[in-house]
Amino acid sequence: MRVLGIETSCDETGVAVYDGSRGRLLAHALHSQVALHADYGGVVPELASRDHVRKTLPLVERVLDDAGLVAGDVDGVAYTAGPGLVGALLVGAVVARGLAWGWGVPALAVHHMEGHLLAPLMEPDPPAFPFVALLVSGGHTQLIEVAELGRYRLLGDTRDDAVGEAFDKTAKLLGLGYPGGPALARLAEKGAPDRFTFPRPMTDRPGLDFSFSGLKTHALTTLRGIDAGDEAARAAVAKAFEHAVVETLAIKCRRALVETGLRTLVVAGGVGANRALRARLEALATELGGTVRFPRLEFCTDNGAMIAFAGALRLAGGDAPTAELAVRPRWPIDELTPPAAA
Amino acid sequence: MKERRVDLADEAATRALGAALAATLEDGGVVLLHGDLGAGKTTLARGFLRGLGYTGAVRSPTYTLLEPYTVAVGTVYHLDLYRLADPEELDYLGLRDLDEPGAIFLVEWPERGRGALPPADLEAHLEHAGDGRRARLEALGPRGEAWLERLEALRPDDRMISNRHQ
């Protein structure tokens, strides 16, 4: 079964084809605003409109070409139906459902975060259910117990800022532009580890929720006492901030693994590309006698492959085609059910 | 136009100002929140929502651009337009469908949505002042002026605006 996946929940337009029978990603393509922004060192208004309308169909054509397929070879179309921006979601939904209708194949609504947490399963030697998933991105910071496909329990969530947002905003305070999370991580590599100490929010009490907005304020206060030209001090602030974030995430991941009795941790989302976090969670997994798995770097951020993959798993599992054109800007992940159980 | 200045010694004071605005809200309102990163815009919005009885998490809307909250008096739309590149992108939020009578809007980084937002009643300018913050509230029309008058008429105990640390 070959499934076309379309992702338009936010800034990126992602399209891919996944072959469920052969367990292989055939092609994928992404149009991202982020690269455009990075070239100009910040948000450039004229370049940044969320123009999924113009991008989606050309990407579909390109992906089918790359996969060596024609329209009749596609057995289903999966699209992100939420959570996300309502107008952006609708573009993907309308294109996907139009294509599916025209081709006479099922269209399936997919949950964006389910796509993220299943993404590491596309890699060779995939982890088996059950596992704990840590979803860390610009918009999300969640710990989820994954019992099986479609059975998810939210263990912890952020109370204020998402972790990627805390990275981006602290980067902005450091004068690194916006979004500047990866730039902050590069600066942190040069920073002295012991010059500043940042708090580890919400680790001194039980529970798996997160709070990251205080770290931004702490960075602001610390930076006030530093000369703007003092590169070593700025690097040390970046280091202390990143270390506090990584330790906080590691403490909560350890708790989640211990509380659920599970041994496998799966990390997804853009912050999953952070090297310090990867190294720390590898060490945690080793210490606990378990494993930690990450998707390849390009599938940490939003992409069409994860939607094609989740759609292929669900259609193969017996999910009925989605009957209505409806998107859900807010869609709690624990409302999902396993395929065929709905 | 009418204006009011408030010193905010700490985060609790910023939340209390939000709660005081909520306590004096009448039949909807649009508040624009100006200020640098970390100036307390989301904290003020959190205090406002708490003041209207919302007890759940008030997350930053920087990524989602829009977070709606259902409270007893209606729906509060908390917007953060920082990532907005063009006011036209507000169409992606379905904003035009939300602008009904009685709706409540709290808008961070409103200058990025200029021309595409509902008319504002109040502007709150937040800035750093020593270890604390300072707020300047400015009425943008008769509805905003009446709102500021109600705010000033709050008894000091109700007002909960913390000047006591000074």
pLDDT tier for residue A33 given thresholds of 50, 70 and 90 = low
Q: What is the pLDDT of residue B95?
A: 80
Residue A146 in 3-state DSSP? strand
Which residues face B125 on adjacent strands?
B34, B136
Q: Which residues contact A99 (CB under 8 A, 6 or more apart)?
A: A4, A60, A71, A74, A77, A107
Contact A85 B63 (CB under 8 A): no
Mutation to test the B interface, candidates A86, A215, A301, most B Cβ within 10 Å:
A86
Query: Does the distance separating the beta carbons of A43 and B85 come in below 8 Å?
Result: yes
pLDDT above 90 covers what percent of chain A?
Answer: 86
Q: Name the closest residue on chain A to residue B59, using Cα atoms.
A: A160
User: Which one-letter DSSP state was computed for residue A271?
Assistant: G
Q: Are A45 and B85 in contact (CB < 8 Å)?
A: yes
Mutation target for B interface from A137, A217, A224, A237: give the one with most B CBs within 10 A.
A217
Residues of B in contact with A33 (CB under 8 A): 85
Distances (CA, A) of A212 to A133, A208, B18, B61, B90: 19, 13, 21, 14, 27
Mean pLDDT over A185-214 rounds to 95
Show residues of chain B in contact with A164, CB under 8 Å. 63
* CB within 8 Å: B37 and A172: yes
Contacts of B60 in chain A (CB under 8 A): 160-162, 165, 213
B82 vs A contacts (CB less than 8 Å): 178
Nearest CA in chain B to A138: B63
B165 touches chain A (CB under 8 A): no
Write down the H helix ranges in chain A: 33-39, 52-67, 86-103, 112-118, 163-173, 181-188, 213-224, 231-260, 275-288, 305-317
Residue A131: band (very low, low, confident or very high) from pLDDT cuts 50, 70, 90: very high
Split at pLDDT 50, 70, 90, the class of A42 is very low
Please name every residue paired with A267 in a beta bridge, in sequence order, or none if there are none: A134
Contacts of A204 (CB under 8 A, 6+ apart): none
- How many beta-carbon pairs under 8 angstroms link A with B? 75
Q: What percent of chain A has pLDDT over 70?
A: 94
End-to-end CA distance of chain B: 28
Who among A87, A165, A178 is closest to B91 (CB)?
A87
Residue at A129: amino acid letter: F
Distance CA A228, CA A226 (A): 6
pLDDT at A46 over 80: no
A269-286 burial string, b = 16+ CB within 10 Å, else e?
bbbbbbebbbebbeebbe
- Name which of A276, A271, A269 is nearest A239 in CA terms: A276
Judged against a pLDDT cut of 80, whether residue B145 lies above it is answered with yes
Collect all residues with Cβ–Cβ distance below 8 Å to B89 and sequence separation of at least 6: A49, A50
B96 in contact with A at a CB cutoff of 8 Å? no
DSSP A303-321: -SHHHHHHHHHHHHHTPPP
Contacts of A144 (CB under 8 A, 6+ apart): A113, A117, A132, A133, A135, A152, A153, A154, A155, A333
Kindly list the domain boundaries of chain A, sorted by start residue. 2-118+299-335, 129-294
The C-alpha atoms of residue A32 and residue A207 are separated, in whole angstroms, by 36
Domains A2-118+299-335 and A129-294 share a fold: yes
Query: Under an 8 A CB cutoff, do A220 and B64 touch?
Result: no
Residues of B in contact with A332 (CB under 8 A): none
Segment holding A130, helix H or strand E: none
Across the interface, of A50, A157, A216, the residue whose CB is closest to B38 is A216
Q: Looking at the domain B3-108+128-157, which fold is it? A: Rossmann fold (3.40.50)
Residues of A in CB contact (< 8 Å) with B are 10, 33, 43-50, 83, 85-88, 138-140, 157-162, 164-165, 169, 172-173, 178, 213, 216-217, 220, 329-330
B66: closest chain A residue by CA? A85
Tokens of B132: 């604390």
Class of domain A129-294 as given by CATH: alpha beta
Contact B86 A169 (CB under 8 A): no
Residues A212-220: what's their mean pLDDT?
94
Listed residue (A332, A338, A155, A141) closest to A257, CA to CA = A155
Which residue in A88, A158, A164 is closest to B92 by CB distance? Answer: A88
The answer to whether the pTM exceeds 0.95 is no
Residue of A nearest to B88 (CA): A49
CATH of A2-118+299-335, one of 2.70.70.10, 3.40.50.280, 3.40.50.1820, 3.30.420.40: 3.30.420.40
Give the tokens for residue A164: 């990627």
Say whether the peptide bond before residue A179 is cis (omega within 30 degrees of 0). yes
First to last CA, chain A: 21
Band (A193; pLDDT cuts 50, 70, 90): very high
Chain A interface includes B59 (CB < 8 A): yes
Give SS3 for A61.
Answer: helix
Q: Is the pLDDT of residue A123 over 60?
A: yes
CA A304/CA A299 separation, integer angstroms: 9
A83: preceding bond cis by omega (within 30 degrees):
yes
Higher pLDDT, A39 or A265: A265
- pLDDT for residue B156: 60
For residue A166, the model assigns a pLDDT of 96
Q: Which of B58, B59, B75, B95 would you mutate first to test chain A, the one with the most A CBs within 10 A?
A: B59
Residues A142-192: tens digit of each pLDDT: 999 999 999 999 999 999 999 999 999 999 999 998 779 999 999 999 999
